[in-house]
Amino acid sequence: MDRKRILLADDHQIVRAGLKQLIDAEPDLCVAGEAATSAEALALLREGRWDLVLLDISLPDRTGVDTLRLIRNHLGDIPVLIVSAFPEEQYAINLLRAGANGYLKKDSDVDEILRAIRVVLQGRRYLSATAADLVASRLDQPGAGPAHQDLSEREFQVLCKLASGMSVTQIADELFISVKTVSTYRSRLLDKLKLGSNAELTYYAVKNGLIQ
C-alpha cells in the first residue's frame, strides 16, 4: 500500500513530534516532511509530491492565513488541514472561506485527528461538531456570529495585520497591493466592524482571540 505523504508545518517541535508519532503509526499514512516556518513549508511543497498539508495557523514568519493564500495561488489544490490552538469560532469560517479543507483544534483526540486527515484525503471538507454548528448557525441566522466572520478573505487578512501593528505601507508591500487599496480595506473594516481607529481594531482582534 502506498502511504499518503503528509507535510507537517508547525513551529513547535514537540507538536510535530507528537503528530508524527501518531500519523506514522498508521499503515496508510506517513509524515514525509516537516517545516517550522511558512518559508520552509512552501519550499518543501514546491520540491516534492504531497497528499496533504497539516498547517499551523501561527507560524513565526507568516500567518496561516497568508500561507494558505500563497498555497492556493501558487501551488494549486493540494489539501490543507488547518491545525490550531484557537477555538473554531475565531478562525474556522474565515479559513474555510479562504480555501482550507478543514479546521482542527490541536487538543482534539487521536481518533478525531486521524478521521479529519482521512476525510480531507478523500477530497471532502472536515468540520468538527463545533465548526459544523457554527456554519449551520451562519446559514440559519446571518449576522448572528462575530462580525469578522462576515469579512472577505482579504479583509480578514488586512484586519489581522493592522491589529498586529503593521502600517498601511508595510501591509501593501507584503501583500503586493497599493497603499490606497490597503487604506480602502481599512475603511471597510472600520465600517463593517463599527470601529473608529486602529487601536479599536487591535482591541477587537485581541478580544476575539484573532491575535495574541
18 with 87, same domain? yes
Question: What pTM does this model have?
Answer: 0.73
The number of domains in the chain is: 2
Q: What stretches of the chain show up as alpha helix (H) in DSSP?
A: 13-24, 38-47, 64-74, 88-97, 110-121, 129-140, 153-163, 168-175, 179-192, 198-207
Q: Which of 139, 174, 193 is the last residue of a domain?
A: 139
At 181, which CATH number? 1.10.10.10
CB-based contact 65:57 (threshold 8 Å):
yes
pLDDT given at position 135: 67
Nearest-5° angle of CA 12, CA 14, CA 16?
75
More confidently predicted of 132 and 174: 174
25 and 128 in a single domain? The answer is yes
**Containing H/E element for 31?**
strand 29-35
| Region 1-30 average pLDDT | 94
- Over 80: is that where the pLDDT of 38 sits? yes
3-state SS class at 51: coil
Same domain, 74 and 96: yes
For the ranges 39-43, 96-100, 138-142, the maximum mean pLDDT occurs at 39-43
106 and 36 within one domain: yes
159 and 129 within one domain: no
* Residues 190 and 128 reside in one and the same domain: no
Same domain, 32 and 106: yes
Give the model's pLDDT for residue 15: 92
Query: What is the CA 150 to chain-centroid distance, rounded?
Result: 16
In this structure, the answer to whether residues 109 and 34 fall within a common structural domain is yes
Q: Which residues form the domain of 13?
A: 4-139
Average pLDDT, the chain: 87
HSE at residue 77, side-chain half, CA atoms within 13 A, is: 5
Q: Which three cell numbers stand for residue 157?
A: 487578512
Q: Looking at the structure, do residues 62 and 155 belong to the same domain, yes or no?
A: no
SS3 116: helix
Q: Provide the percentage of residues in the chain whose pLDDT is more than 90.
A: 47
Last residue in a domain, options 90, 123, 139: 139
DSSP characters over 52-103? EEEEESB-SSSBHHHHHHHHHHHSTT--EEEEESS-HHHHHHHHHHTT-SEE
Among 16-20, 134-138, 146-150, the range of highest mean pLDDT: 16-20
Same domain, 74 and 91: yes
Q: Which of 88, 113, 110 is nearest to 6 (CA)?
A: 113
Do residue 109 and residue 30 come from a single domain?
yes
- Taking residues 68-79, what's their average pLDDT? 89
Domain stop point among 139, 167, 185: 139
